[in-house]
Structure 1
Amino acid sequence: MEDVQRDVERWDGWFEDFFALLAGLWCRVEPRLTARAYIKALLGPVERKNTWQIAAYLGHTAPDKVKDLLRKTTWSWSQLRDRVREFTVEYLGDPEAVLVLDETAFLKKGDKSVGVAPQYAGITGQTENCQVAVFLAYITPYGRALIDFALYLGRLWAGQAARCGEAGVPRERAGKVLTKPELGRIMVERARCARVPFAWVAADSVYGQDRKLRACLQRHGKGYVMTVPCDETVTAGPVGPMRVDKLVQRLPLVFERRSCGQGAKGERFYDWALAEASWPSPAGEVRRGWCHLLLVRRSISDPTDIAYFAVHARTGTTLATLVKIAGLRWGVEDCFETAKSDCGLDQYEVRKWEPWHRHIALAIAAFAFLSVSATRTARLTRPREDTQPPTDPEPAIAWPPLTPPPILNP
């Protein structure tokens, strides 16, 4: 019992240090205390982390204060997002960090929630009535966190002035459709301008096929390992330009069996091959000391299951390093799973633009605290991992387990 009490006191102390970085976002004492309690409730043993159950957990007889925090109180969710990013970088920052772009869906009923529409939901693998948001994850050997996000507004919303007005969508977002790659570019550029240390960007083909994103990273000297569709055009020496799947059939590739990291069922082994290539880019020729490459991943159980990666890397970057970067993309899935299950990322019951963004910002704040706290605990018992590319064979990164804290004092 004494050990449990010490854990509670330690986590409470860490939380107060963490919230001190955020407290200035709320000018008045009452909403500041409500925000503090809200984040604690997101980390607590609340069955369904909506306004009613959060209020009950906090001992309120009605959810008015919690609802006001999301709907009425004056404060900036974008400033909270930026503070979360700064906190994440302070404790998890690494010059070799990987930024990962990916989206997740929030299943909904009805048509009033901002951004909701019949659209593909990766969590079910089919078209659902849902909201979709693009997130930017920050992945390092010390941990991972979500540092930015943007709600996707498809054609059923963008340009629909009356509908957007009812949902409180700002005029600058209601006027046109911003594609998921465009939202991704905005977030990566925001991280770069904020001097977030990172060396790589990883993403699936939704973002990898965006030549403007690839060009932006190329111009600023950032590496990328991003999946591209099979019909993406590429050139390899005298071969091409042609579809990447057709080009791979003509190249004398040598495959190596390697793990790209831990999965739910253990190490994820694939056959991998690497070739020099030239990817079309508005940025033009690559700068000296850098190169374009084609990374190919082939399933062991089904050799016809092949994935193609566009790569921009420093000359001499090894296959082992690129396989590791490709595998780190799955870290964002761990972020989504934990942020939803332990921090209430998807458990909101709000419909309009501002309340939605406020809840998501508070949830990624809770997740950042959870991730950094796990790292701080791990560092008490083992030294900081080497950030340099390890020698072959490539070991998988073993992140600290993200377990909910002992029950924090509300």
Structure 2
Amino acid sequence: MDTHWKTDLERWLAPFLDALGHKTRSRMCPAYVAGLIGPGDRKSVQPMAARDADVSYDRLHHFIASSVWNTAPLQKVLLAEADRMVGGDDAWLIIDDTALPKKGERSVGVAPQYASALGKNANCQTLVSLTLASGEVPVMVGLRLFLPESWTSDPARLDRAGVPDEHRVHKTKPQIALAEIDRVRAVGVRFGCVLADAGYGLSAPFRQGLSERGLTWAVGIPFKQKVYPEDVAMIFPVAGHGRPRQRHIPDVRSITAQAMLESARWRTVSWRRGTKGRLSARFAAVRVRVADGPPQRIRDLGAQHLPGEEVWVLGEHRSTGERKYYLSNLPADTPLKQLAGAIKARWVCEQAHQQLKEELGLDHFEGRSWQGLHRHALMTMIAYAFLQSRRLKEAEGGKKNPRSTPATEPARRPSGHPHRTRAAAAKPLPALPQIPQS
């Protein structure tokens, strides 16, 4: 990064400082963001202050931990900047979570829980994340702490961490994600399709909540997710004895997603170019009715979920032998290559998580409060958006005919969804730290 980046940062931060609307805070915000971006391995308050002769530890700590200011106006500016950079009908909104390993038990939300980044249970904090992305360009737009029930059931613990009243009721990660999606949509951020892994896709209320909002989605699911054939019919069962049956039942049994795809046609599909050549795997897709309707007793099977929304069920066979399964409400005429491109577009959020931690110190915050953690997370997102804006500018200015983004754009929205103007496709970024791409 050239020596003029601080001048560019001050100019770029102007809308954020206007939103802060306070002289002292307007000095601390650029200092904090610059501390996250600048040199140094540790990005907690004390080492950042030690590297900046113009800012004391007390003032920087006060700004992030206890000063009276509202994050909402800055979040709104961040969303506007993200939309300007990568928003549009060809953009993805990617739902995921990221773990911040922590020792002890007093940092807000810390508990033994599954950490996806580590692939195991660990003592950590978990943040539900939202990433707006176009092609290979991600911009993080939301990081909200998940509170385990060991926290929400302990008022004294919540008091010590300063958790606001509206966040003290236990919410699942899918519930938090839906609330964050509503926040993003409320300010007009444009995207074409919501993506999520199986941690969210296995939740029927999450999938149904997306559809109720008129959103297009593609999510991972467990192999045992039950589905019905597309042409399943509801019939009255014939009563062998007793009173006539009063409720319809499906004319066929539901089966697992894995079983539904066993006899499907599998094809090798390449969805984009990676660092070692074209990325490809074998895919199959079948239209089905997902078994997430109301539960009802069906003959001798006990309570079973009735057919719900008509969707795609997709399977992926990787060269490693690993198999993955997905559901999507993309239109019935969506080509297999486009379906594969949608489900594989999630990887950029993993890259964003890694860069937020390794480059900008997302997991370096040493405070224990709800307010401090979310302010620090917001500052890292602002810093990341600034870096992405510079990388986009460099990519656009460095090539006469910059390479267009991969052809993995979301298919058209379901009928009835408001149309939004398509944004110009974002250009590939200059070289960035890479992670394994799944």
Same-fold call, TM cutoff 0.5 = yes
Provide the residue aligned with 1:292 in structure 2. Answer: 311
Tell me if the contact between 1:112 and 1:351 (Cα under 8 Å) persists in the aligned partners: yes
Distance in 1 between residues matched to 2:431 and 2:291, nearest whole Å: 40
Instruction: Name whichever of 213-222 and 85-94 sits farther off.
Output: 213-222
Distance 1:67 1:41 in 2: 13
Q: Which residue of 2 aligns with 1:246?
A: 259
Match of 2:217 among 221, 224, 243: 224
Picking from 349, 362, 387, the partner of 2:366 is 349
Within the candidate set 303, 326, 331, 1:309 is matched to 326
Q: Indicate the larger mover: 202-211 or 76-85.
A: 76-85
Unaligned runs of 5+ in 2: 233-251, 295-306, 410-425, 434-438
Match of 2:159, SS state, is helix
**Contact map agreement 1:50 1:348 (CA 8 A) in 2:** yes
Match of 1:327 in 2: 344
Query: TM-score, with normalisation over the residues of structure 2?
Result: 0.81
Matched, 1:400 2:393: no
1:179 partner letter: T
Partner of 2:423: none
Residue in 2 aligned with 1:59?
Answer: 53
Aligned with residue 289 of structure 2, among 259, 275, 278: 278
Q: Which amino acid aligns with 1:85?
A: L
Q: Which has the larger radius of gyration?
A: 2
Q: CA deviation at 1:189?
A: 2.0
Look up the match of 1:255.
266
Amino acid at match of 1:297: E
Residues 398/320 of structure 1: CA separation in 2 closer, same or farther (3 Å cut): farther
Residue 126 (structure 1) aligned with residue 83 (structure 2): no
Distance 1:46 1:262, change over 3 A: farther
Displacement after TM superposition at 1:354 (Å): 0.4
Which residue in the other structure is 1:269 paired with?
A: 280
Q: Is the 8 A contact 1:96 1:387 kept in 2?
A: no
Residues 80-126 of structure 1, C-alpha deviations (whole Å, 9 max, x = no match)? 22211111111222212111111111111111100000011112211
Task: Name the Cα RMSD after superposition.
Answer: 2.5
- Match for 1:329: what amino acid? R
Find the partner of 1:173 among 167, 173, 183: 167
Number of positions where the alignment pairs a residue of Structure 1 with one of Structure 2: 384
Residue of structure 2 aligned with 1:186, choices 179, 183, 191: 179
Cα deviation, 1:372-409, whole Å, max 9, x if unaligned, reads: 21011111134576579579xxxxx97303659xxxxx
Amino acid at match of 2:203: D
Distance in 1 between residues matched to 2:253 and 2:279, nearest whole Å: 32
TM-score (norm 1): 0.87
Once the two structures are TM-superposed, the CA of residue 196 in structure 1 deviates from its matched residue by 1.2
Structure 1 portions without partners, runs of 5+? 392-396, 405-410
Classify the secondary structure of the residue corresponding to 2:349. helix
**Contact (CA 8 Å) 1:370, 1:402: kept in 2 or not?**
no
Residues 395, 427 of structure 2: 8 Å contact kept? no
- Shift of residue 77, structure 1, vs aligned partner: 2.0
CA distance in 2, matches of 1:81, 1:63: 25
Deviations 1:215-237, CA, capped at 9 Å, x for gaps = 23323432211011122121123
1:28 Cα offset (Å) = 2.6
Q: 1:394 — aligned with what?
A: none
Equivalent in the alignment of 1:208:
201
